[in-house]
Chains A and B, each alone.
Chain A
Amino acid sequence: MTQDLSKQSNRLQEGGRIDRSKPLTFTYNGKQYKGFDGDTLASALLANGVDIIGRSFKYSRPRGIVAAGAEEPNAIMQIGSTEATQIPNVRATQQSLYAGLVASSTNGWPNVEMDLMGLVGKIGGKMMPPGFYYKTFMYPKSMWETYESYIRKAAGLGRAPKENDPDIYDKMNQHCDLLIVGAGPAGLMAALTAARSGARVIIADEQSEFGGSLLSSKEMLNGKPAAEWVKDVVQELSGFDDVLMLPNSQVNGYHDHNFLTIQQHCTDQFADRAPNGQIAQRLHRVRAKWVVLATGAHERPLVYGNNDVPGCMVANAVSTYINRYGVAPGKDLVLMTSNDNAYRAALDWHDAGRNVVAIVDSRKNPQGTFVDAARDRGISIIVGSGVIEAHGSKRVSGVSIAPLNDAGDAVVGPIIKMAADTVATSGGWSPVIHLSCHTGARPVWNDEILGFTPGATYQKQLTAGAINGAFSTAQALSEGVKVASDALSQLGLAKSDVALPETEVVEEGKAMALFHIPHTKPTSKAPKQFVDYQNDVTAAGIELACREGFESIEHVKRYTAMGFGTDQGKLGNINGMAIAAKMLNQTIPQTGTTIFRPNYTPVTFGAIAGRDCGELFDPERYTAMHAWHVEHGAKFEDVGQWKRAWYYPKGNETMQQALDRECLATRKSVGILDASTLGKIDIQGKDAREFLGRVYTNAWAKLPVGKCRYGLMCGEDGMVFDDGVTSCLAENHFLMTTTSGGAARVLSWLEIYHQTEWPELEVYFNSVTDHWSTMTISGPNSRKLLEKLTDYDVSKENMAFMDWKPMTVAGVPARVFRISFTGELSFEINVQANYGLHVWKALFEHGEEFNLTPYGTETMHILRAEKGFIIAGQDTDGSVHPFDLGMSWAVSMQKPFSFIGKRGMQREDCVRENRKQLVGLKTIDPKAVLPEGAQGVLDPKAPVPMPMVGHVTSSYWSANLNRSVAMGFVKGGLNKMGERVFYPLADGRVIEAEICSPVFLDPKGERQNV
């Protein structure tokens, strides 16, 4: 019965692993087509007789589908039915067909059939020899942007969606005993062997079905079609709890210590957009005890004239389309081969009822099972010859065949022309060694198979099947068992019995080493002979590169672009090396190979990002009072991962208005700051005090219990990196505070010195940052406010400046520190964080009469700048020591132990004259606020570039002083008090400032000492 194949002109009446009861409609370049469930986009396009799927990158030549798997160089598609679901760079050969799939060519603007560049291209081609980028695009530099947009468009790199991708991508961490890459005969056999022994196995394959080469061959295993054996094995494997089977999954990267990444296409095979709640793609991050690479081999096309005309394919792809998808991609086939194996394409073509015009075999006397089978079918075999050229432009119309000499490098007889629409070629098989190369292993040339096999690696990696050059199914199966057994014995697992399936006996004659078919004309004058389709690299181009003196294959690669981009040289690399080797008069192993890099095929950004996007992009750390800040309209500032209240605008207040209000209220009455983010480190042990003395620049030996002290922490180079107040809780017990952003670094700093330098000191450090909620009430009325919430005597007499006391505040046990970062009377109240919000709210309940005003980090910055207090990380940048900051009072050079930073700050450069020093900057115009970062000069009329003397580090409008306040570095600034410095700005203004003390307010410190 004849089916309605709806114009699928190349679809065979029967056969293939497609489900003919499930027709699917899809759109390609705006036109609707039909295919079947089980098709790839490529097989469906071929079924519909779509010959041209793109235009070439450089020469804009029409291109067709060449291969059937990941090695496809031409059919690079843009997929997606909506703007948001666009995915670029999808190989049509790897995209399962689904109903409603929308695809378009990425190459070939404005369209593949009628390309505006077509004519330009032919001229452009001549104008774009190898090295074009280097020769042309480098100069002039300013033109690059113009070139780039043109090249990008023409190069078919696809485009990213302009809307947010609605799909969910995620990542999963996996661990296994064996990760098996490739589910062909070798991989399946290895998986079966390992699984039966109870090993934890992951087996991944980039295709939608397991089986690899067995799915597209007519071989028999155990007397049954191979696909049935595959089905049985898959079924058995699915019964093991510890076997994870991942079809539609590319193992894309093989990284250090057997860490591999697998991109699983979870819903790509049936939908443009993942059904609600489902994961579209998942990146598996696998740590495998052993890795088995059973990645198979890619058939190598032969290089001949016009070998890129649509209709030119690799031989195995022809078999795959016929056997797996029921598609014969043409009518009249010419097969050119250097080996027996490729004869199968002609046999399959013939058996599909199509016409094999001829088999052109480069060898004089081919012999073997497949050769006999071709002769039995009466197929004409032209020996000792090659196809030197294909004819046609949008589709092959015929070929020129000529006799070749024994070496295969010269035409030695008359040309015969034959009509054909398809040319299949095979120069043998190239093992897929990409993943093995990712580990840094150098591939090894194998003369026996005329290809590179994986090189030695220290990684726990095994290889099985065609990747080793074991191309027959029988070899692959037995290698699969062997590697699994090897791994099992290494893992200490007993090997269970696994019987090898019976295979057919196939005899194959010796293949000929052939890569590049000669033409009657020299390569440079012959029709273009393509080596790398995707990058439009020709044999002539490689020869030119060699003539121009590029001898290293890595240089040839970069000069010609061979093996670049998403292609990674899957089809063309070996042919290119062979051509270069010949030009350089050396062997292929002498020439060497370029290194394949991750990723094997392109990975979507979605899979790389996973769930680390949107609100999960980076953790937001909250204090116990965060919800209150949100409710009270706070604007937030990121401090490390913390969200800190920045300021609290009221009504229509601008930021400056809010800051002015917060600043005035605090100095006039009382303000409150959530300081919970300050790093807090609990330090205990009899040597705690000694340790503090070593890591801080000042003295700690005599700090009494109940007292607090400010300290500067320096690196060994003497440069300040953090500061904070440390309090003596008990004789052997301290609480250190650090900057909010520096907490983790300081704890790590203490630990590394304790663990590696001074392990003899008895001290323990523990982070208690999150344990305590810290709220600072600051301002002249802060004591009155605190008195309302505690019975404790917080008078000056009982609780002096820099004292800390335990007391109950609002019913909650608290540790209250009389320290101040604003210069006002301040109390820093610490309570266990589960009670932080309770105390915070209680303060507001009692604070109304004092106009208790919440202030954020910006007001804190202004208030401290009025007092000239530094912020480590803002007023320091890792290049300033305490003396540069004018903080010699915080350094005790007399301490017995040479504290960290002491030696460093005495180096020659640290004690020289005229270092940049931190000073106050009083603008002559009190209303002018210096921009932070502005560079100062002493003479604004000096010629550009003016000698710069230092930059502004902190600068604010001070509502309290009704003028600007600033701090900054000035060379030799501490000796320049009263002198002028000028800040020329980008907008042409020059702000003039007087060098002064950084303490703008209350220089005697009377306000905090009440």
Chain B
Amino acid sequence: MSDVTVEAMEGKLVTDQLPTGAIVGESPLHHSDLASIAKKGPQQGGVHFHERKLKGLLTLRCAPSAEQLAVIESLLGVALPMQPLTSVTTDAISVRWMSPDEWLIIVAGEQAFEIETQFQEKLTGHYALVNISGGTTILDVSGSHVVDMLKKSTPVDLHASEFPVGKVVSTVFAKSGATICRLADDKFELVVRRSFADYLWLWIQDASREYGLVVKA
């Protein structure tokens, strides 16, 4: 890539943070070699685990005006979920409500910069869009005992009547935190911070032990 100059930036700095070429990123659980565990480890169990790694994750901060909402929808292809604790999930993009002025946007890793650039070009007014792809990873957990494992880990009520598919909460997870979204009856997405990922992976292994843990590549 060609080196950018700071002077070119107006207002906010947006730079592509991904290398071009053959350099492969290492996700927070890279050293755990989940691929080998997936191959050699148990294939049956009540909890399934998968690191959805190297995605593009962006935090959008905004108290959007109607005008901004329209622009954001045109840029993301989906409307921002405005109701607390709701989310939007499509094949291309996921948007999670985080707070009245905060959303988490999940796209393919290489798309983050594209979205940042488009926001920079098209969205006016007060907002912040922050790339957090390197500081975050996504753990997908599923299976017949996934709720039991989660009940050991988080104090939120996971009963389907209180936590339907599509609901998203940011909460305590073991002694760390996570943003939990229910993707299906027995499938949840945990968005966690990089530095805590190893601890949480250990925790999930432990909490799943009595049900059997299957790692998915």
Contacts and interface: CB of A to CB of B under 8 A. Distances in A.
Interface of A: 168, 170-175, 200, 242, 277-279, 285, 287, 611-612, 615-616, 618-624, 626-627, 642, 677, 682, 684-686, 705-706, 729-733, 762, 764, 766-773, 791-792, 805-808, 811-813, 815, 831-838
Contacts of A623: 195
B194 A173 contact: no
Interface string B125-152: 0111011111110000000000010011
A278 B174 CA distance: 20
Interface string B147-170: 010011011110101100000000
A729 B12 contact: yes
B135 A768 contact: yes
Contact of A279 (B11, B198, B203, B210): B210
Nearest to A617: B175
A173 B126 contact: no
Interface stretch (B23-31, B34-42, B75-83, B181-189): B23-31
Nearest to A766: B130
Residue among B20, B134, B210 with most chain A CB within 10 A: B134
Nearest to A282: B152
B155 A285 contact: yes
B206 interface: yes
Given A615-B202, A619-B174, A770-B135, A172 B151 contact: yes
Contact of A173 (B59, B151, B161): B151
Contacts of A811: 19-21, 23
B130 A682 contact: yes
Contacts of A834: 25-27, 54, 133-134
A463 to B, nearest CB: 25
Nearest to A171: B152
B110 to A, nearest CB: 12
Given A624-B194, A833-B135, A173 B11 contact: no
A808 B9 CA distance: 17
Contacts of B216: none
20 contacts: A172-B152, A173-B154, A285-B155, A287-B155, A287-B157, A611-B206, A627-B31, A642-B195, A682-B130, A730-B10, A731-B11, A733-B11, A766-B61, A766-B130, A771-B132, A771-B136, A772-B134, A806-B13, A813-B1, A833-B135
Contacts of A200: 159, 161
Contact of A622 (B159, B175, B195): B195
B61 A764 contact: yes
B152 A170 contact: yes
Contacts of B15: 806, 813, 815
Question: Nearest 3 pairs between A and B by C-beta?
Answer: A770-B135, A771-B135, A834-B25
A808 B132 CA distance: 19
A127 B136 CA distance: 68
Interface of B: 1, 3-7, 9-13, 15-21, 23, 25-28, 31, 54, 59, 61, 101, 126-128, 130-136, 148, 151-152, 154-157, 159, 161-162, 174-176, 193-196, 198-200, 202-203, 206-207, 209-210
Contacts of A733: 9, 11-13
Contacts, number: 177
Contacts of B203: 611, 616
Nearest to B195: A621
B196 A705 contact: no
A175 B162 contact: yes
Interface of chain B, main secondary structure: loop
A807 B3 contact: yes
B201 to A, nearest CB: 11
A771 B152 contact: no
B140 to A, nearest CB: 18
B194 A770 contact: yes
Given A621-B199, A685-B128, A808 B1 contact: yes
A831 B16 CA distance: 11
A831 B207 CA distance: 34
Residue among B3, B31, B148 with most chain A CB within 10 A: B3
A187 to B, nearest CB: 22
Given A172-B152, A627-B31, A807-B3, A620 B130 contact: no
A168 B210 CA distance: 10
Nearest to B113: A813
Contact of A773 (B11, B13, B134): B134
A277 B9 contact: no
B199 A616 contact: yes
A173 B155 contact: yes
Nearest to B132: A771
A278 to B, nearest CB: 7
Nearest to A731: B11
A705 B199 contact: no
A989 B73 CA distance: 73
B24 to A, nearest CB: 8
A683 to B, nearest CB: 8
A624 B156 CA distance: 30
B199 A619 contact: yes
A832 B134 contact: yes
A492 B33 CA distance: 50
A498 B48 CA distance: 42
Contacts of A620: 198-199
Contacts of B132: 766, 768, 770-771
Given A616-B202, A685-B128, A806 B133 contact: no
B31 to A, nearest CB: 5
B12 A813 contact: no
A762 B127 CA distance: 9
Nearest to B203: A616
Contacts of B7: 705-706
Contacts of A731: 10-11
B134 A764 contact: no
Nearest to B109: A834
Contacts of A168: 209
Contacts of A773: 134
Given A770-B134, A771-B132, A813-B15, A835 B25 contact: yes
A835 B109 CA distance: 13
Given A171-B152, A173-B155, A766-B128, A805 B12 contact: no
Given A616-B199, A771-B133, A684 B12 contact: yes
A799 to B, nearest CB: 11
B18 A833 contact: no
A812 B24 CA distance: 10
A81 B182 CA distance: 45
A611 B194 contact: no
Contacts of B207: 170, 611
Given A173-B151, A812-B23, A813-B18, A685 B126 contact: yes
B59 A766 contact: yes
B104 to A, nearest CB: 11
Contacts of B154: 173
A363 B76 CA distance: 85
Contacts of A285: 155
Given A611-B203, A770-B193, A175 B130 contact: no
Residue among B25, B136, B161 with most chain A CB within 10 A: B25
B11 A732 contact: yes
Contact of A612 (B134, B175, B196): B175
A819 to B, nearest CB: 16
A813 B127 CA distance: 24
A520 to B, nearest CB: 61
Contacts of A772: 134-135
Nearest to A762: B126
Contact of B135 (A242, A287, A764, A769): A769
A686 B31 CA distance: 41
A400 B4 CA distance: 103
Contacts of B31: 627
Contacts of B175: 612, 618-619
A813 B17 CA distance: 5
A612 to B, nearest CB: 7
A831 B20 CA distance: 14
A831 B18 CA distance: 9
